[in-house]
Amino acid sequence: MPKKLIKRFLPDHEKVRSHPHLNKLFGPLLHDPNLLHLNRRSVSGAFFIGLFMAFVPMPFQMVPAAAMAIYFRTNLIIAVALVWISNPITIPPMAYFCYKVGALIMDVPVEVIEFNLTWEWIVNELGAGWKPFILGCFVVGVTASLIGGFGIRLLWRVNVVRQWQARKLARARQQNQL
């Protein structure tokens, strides 16, 4: 894993602990040093949390993602950063995809939705299609988090095995040179 590269972009642990908003919300829970560690467990856990929360249809997804990362002692920064997969540009296609997945699971017809940002449109359209949308968000969120979390664990393991093999090969070469 590009651990050194990622570490360059992570803030200092003291900076996170002294952040006024985080400190106000989470207080002494931020003192756990595991919240910024880069190891297989903390990074894959952050992927589980961040990818799941990216598909939860609610505002301020970063707060529950941070709370879950602190509770499960995973990498706080990565979990919160992954929530930004759902941003103002990606939300419409993600929401429509989740709606289509939910409609497919519930075996209801997918309606073509004409987007119009008004309160009346939100009430009418969400009133009609909220069940498939919520189900789709849950299914896609769980699927994305499982693929992401286990994918990171697999990639991490493959990288560690390659490093072991490279060290073993280097030792063998060194033994042959002696």
Contact between 62 and 79 (Cβ < 8 Å): no
Quick: pLDDT tens for 112-157. Answer: 766 666 777 667 766 667 788 899 999 999 999 999 999 999 999 9
5 vs 93, higher pLDDT: 93
Q: What angle do CA 73, 26, 41 make, to 5 degrees?
A: 10
Per-position b or e across 22-33, b if 16+ CB within 10 A of its CB: beeebeebbeee
Cα(33)–Cα(66) distance, rounded to whole angstroms? Answer: 15
Q: Which of 121, 82, 78, 130 is nearest to 102 (CA)?
A: 130
**Over the stretch 63-122, which tens digit does the pLDDT of each residue have?**
999 999 988 989 888 999 999 999 889 888 898 899 899 989 998 887 776 666 677 766
Whether this model's pTM surpasses 0.85: no
Alpha-carbon gap, residue 142 to 92, rounded angstroms: 19
Query: Is it the case that residue 167 has pLDDT exceeding 80?
Result: yes
- Asked whether the predicted pLDDT for residue 1 surpasses 60, the reply is no
Burial of 100 (0-12, 13-18, 19+ CB in 10 A): middle
What pLDDT score does 117 carry? Answer: 62
Residue 15 binned pLDDT confidence (cut-offs 50, 70, 90) = low
SS3 (DSSP) at 47: helix
User: Under the phi-then-psi rule, with left for phi > 0, alpha for psi from -120 to 50, and beta for the rest, what region is 27?
Assistant: left
